[in-house]
Amino acid sequence: MTGTISGKALIHALYDRPMSGQAIEERSFQLIDEEVPAHGFSPKQWVVVRRMIHTVADFGLIDAIRFSPDALEAGTGALRSGRPIYVDSSMIRSGLSLPRLRSVCSGYCEEDVVCHVADGDVAKEAKEKGLPRSLFAVRKAIPMLDRGIAVFGNAPVALMELNRLIMEEQVRPSLVVAMPVGFVHVVESKEELMTLDVPYVAVAGRRGGSTLAVSVLHALCSLASNPVSA
């Protein structure tokens, strides 16, 4: 705050000693490594967890992060194979970096990241049935969800419907990023997912969010293109 007290804007310090966005990100990761309390994550898991902490700037999240044993291998494998990615919010779609996806599999294109929540037919069905749009959006995505990557950072109802598809209709996603957030249906939607035989990265409890879901995919992209020794 010396900048403000002296009447000089703080940004001048950055003009005087320029740092790129990438340098700032590296410095952030270094600070997280220095400050993190003791934890039991493997080096590969830590790549994911660190980026999640970077996204919310809150170490309190650590205790809630869960990986199925096969999550990282399944997730990086699916990305390398260019599997389609179904997301439950337009924020996730716009946050996912196509260059990062392409650094893992050059075949990725915009059409491989799909969200049906804003589709007209989905909205119509939701209104008719008195149920959330996210549910019908997931149903519309069934063909791509089988062997695809499911990324949920918003709607617990979307995750609950996916759970049913796994339990009853033999849909088998390559990876489920399970991070819906909120107060209704959220805790149990994630608990149910974690009982199923599919690879997952989850945030247990009420917390989650679209930015966290994006950070998991981006961390998996780094793992897939720059392997860390486990």
Give the interface with its own copies as residue ranges (CB under 8 A): 1, 3-4, 7, 9-12, 14-15, 18-21, 24, 27-28, 31-32, 54-58, 60, 89-91, 93-95, 126, 129-135, 157, 160-161, 163-164, 167-168, 181-186, 188-189, 191-192, 195, 205-211, 214
Task: Please give the full DSSP string across 84-107, using - where no structure is assigned.
Answer: -EEESSHHHHHHS-HHHHHHH-TT
Spatial separation of the C-alpha atoms in residues 168 and 165, rounded to whole Å:
5
Asked whether the beta carbons of 88 and 113 are under 8 A apart, the reply is no
Looking at beta carbons only, is 135 or 150 nearer to its own copies?
135
Q: Indicate the DSSP class of residue 165.
A: H
Q: Give min distance, CB of 71 to its own copies, in A.
A: 20
Strand residues in 46-97 grouped as ranges (E):
65-67, 85-87
3-state secondary structure of 123: helix
Structure tokens at 186: 């959220």
Question: Is 39 a residue of the active site?
Answer: no
Looking at beta carbons only, is 93 or 100 nearer to its own copies?
93
Looking at beta carbons only, is 72 or 218 nearer to its own copies?
218
Q: Give min distance, CB of 205 to its own copies, in A.
A: 8
Spatial separation of the C-alpha atoms in residues 15 and 11, rounded to whole Å:
6
Give me the residue label for tokens 């199923």.
196
Catalytic residue among 39, 54, 116, 185: 54
Q: Give min distance, CB of 53 to its own copies, in A.
A: 9
Q: Which residues are catalytic?
A: 54
